[in-house]
Amino acid sequence: MRQSTTRLYNWAMEKANSQKAPFWIAFLFVLELVLFIPLDAILIFFCLQNRKNIFLYVGIAAVASTLSGLVGYLLGHFLWDLIGSYIVPHFISASFFNKLSFQFQVYEVWAVFFASLIPFPLKALSLTAGVFHLGVIPFATFMLLARLLRFSLVGVAMSIWGENVKSFVDKHFHRIIVVIGAKVAMAFLFFWAIAR
């Protein structure tokens, strides 16, 4: 396990210190829809390695994350008739689906904003927004605003406490990866349990 995390650390360090670091940020956040890792941790790592580009990375991450959300929105909007009958009984219960439907009908763009601001699964948020035919422009706008706010808070924290955080991450990278993996597994189990 430690050998794998060391390889991951070295790979991330190489990408974060390369001239193509903005490309890697964009690439990873565009893939957010299909990844099961918290990308805030990736953003923190890149910001720590190159603090003069913190807010460039924040902007790229917010735009790329919103594009990923739009892909999920379009899948939900146009393909629900094909995939809906598979998703509802196998991944979420009909009662949970109805609760989500109610939340989107009542709160609409505010549901998108607050779900984008917290570590709510992008897949659930974007697919559901598409299924319930929220306006695509309000969806993208409120998601982008929330992502900018969320990632800016990360950027500000890294610009203030970056040196201390960098020392901690360099020293405890292996433990951090184990904790993140455990949290992802618990979050997955939590959302699976409430969706049943």
- Domain spans, the chain: 2-195
Q: Which residue did the predictor score with more confidence, 27 or 5? A: 27
CA 138 to chain centre: 19
- pLDDT, position 8: 64
Reported pTM = 0.79
Tokens of 85: 């009958």
Give the pLDDT confidence of 118-133 residue by residue, as tens digits.
Answer: 877 787 788 888 988 8
Instruction: Give the mean pLDDT of the chain.
Output: 81
Tokens of 143: 């998601």
Give the pLDDT confidence of 13-40 residue by residue, as tens digits.
Answer: 788 888 899 999 999 899 888 876 667 8
Query: What number of helices (H) and strands (E) belong to the chain?
Result: 8, 0
- pLDDT, position 5: 57
Tokens of 94: 């009909």
- pLDDT, position 185: 61
Q: Is 120 left (phi over 0), alpha (psi -120 to 50) or beta?
A: beta
